[in-house]
Amino acid sequence: MDKDRADLHDESSGGISRRDFLRTVGAGTLEAAVLSAAAIPSEAAPAHTGDLVPLVLTVNGGRNELQVEPRWTLLYVLREKLGLTGAKAGCDRGECGACTILIDGRPRYSCMTLALEADGHEIITVEGLMRGEQLGPVQEAFVREDAFQCGFCTPGQVMSAEGLLRQNPHPESGEIRSGMSGNLCRCGAYDHIVKAVQLASQIRK
């Protein structure tokens, strides 16, 4: 009742009412927002247009000719376009390591790597460590040391271990822990993982 009286008083005195003020402010804000959006230059719009570009990826020794969108990650292309699902999509922001693969022999997060960045480089996924149906040394060591529980992080762990051993064939325990620090294991199988890397070092001899 008091609010209505205040509005009537403002209108009768020739002033602007609270209701009219709110209507005016609301309309002005909307108009300003529309004008601001229209004033944004075209360069600020997302660069992605959906266009495909040619790409050649060398994966596990094989040549793959593809048409990709510039925004596609290497992880997406490996899994969805090449059917190599060993690398796992975990955090999608370079924190868990489940998507680790090797590029030119070094571990790299495929979720943080654009597919176009891998052009001209050698890519190895966990599938590429096998010799037919035979496990590679690191994969065998992970099985023998029971270095996994749920197994989701295991492909990334294996690839980080493979990359570490290629750079340092006989790492000490501390070097193993440092080299594997970019891979998280929710199950907490870290002691077994260290033992698996040590065993893989012996097997690779």
Same domain, 81 and 113: yes
**CA nearest neighbour of 101 among 117, 90, 86:** 86
* pLDDT of amino acid 130: 94
* pLDDT of amino acid 12: 44
* pLDDT of amino acid 94: 95
Q: Which residues pair with 53 in a beta bridge?
A: 68
Q: How many domains does the chain have?
A: 2
Contacts of residue 173, Cβ cutoff 8 Å, sequence gap at least 6: 194, 198
Decide: 71 and 39 in contact? Cβ < 8 Å: no
Same domain, 32 and 62: no
Same domain, 148 and 126: yes
* pLDDT of amino acid 21: 45
DSSP one-letter code for 128: G
Instruction: Identify the CATH number of the domain in which residue 188 sits.
Output: 3.10.20.30
User: What is the C-alpha separation between 59 and 16, in angstroms, rounded?
Assistant: 72
Same domain, 102 and 11: no
Helix (H) or strand (E) holding 6: helix 2-12
pLDDT, one tens digit for every residue, the chain (205 residues): 444 444 434 444 455 555 554 455 455 544 444 444 444 333 343 445 569 999 999 999 999 999 999 999 999 999 999 999 999 999 999 999 999 999 999 999 999 999 999 999 999 999 999 988 899 999 999 999 999 999 999 999 999 999 999 999 999 999 999 999 999 999 999 999 999 999 999 999 8
Same domain, 97 and 149: yes
What domain range is 38 assigned to? 2-44
Which residue shows structure tokens 């960045």? Answer: 117
Same domain, 14 and 108: no
Same domain, 58 and 39: no
> How would you classify the pairing of strands 62-68 and 122-124?
unpaired
Same domain, 6 and 67: no
Decide: 114 and 50 in contact? Cβ < 8 Å: no
Query: Strands across the sheet with 53-59, in order?
Result: 62-68, 53-59, 122-124, 100-103, 106-109
Decide: 112 and 118 in contact? Cβ < 8 Å: no
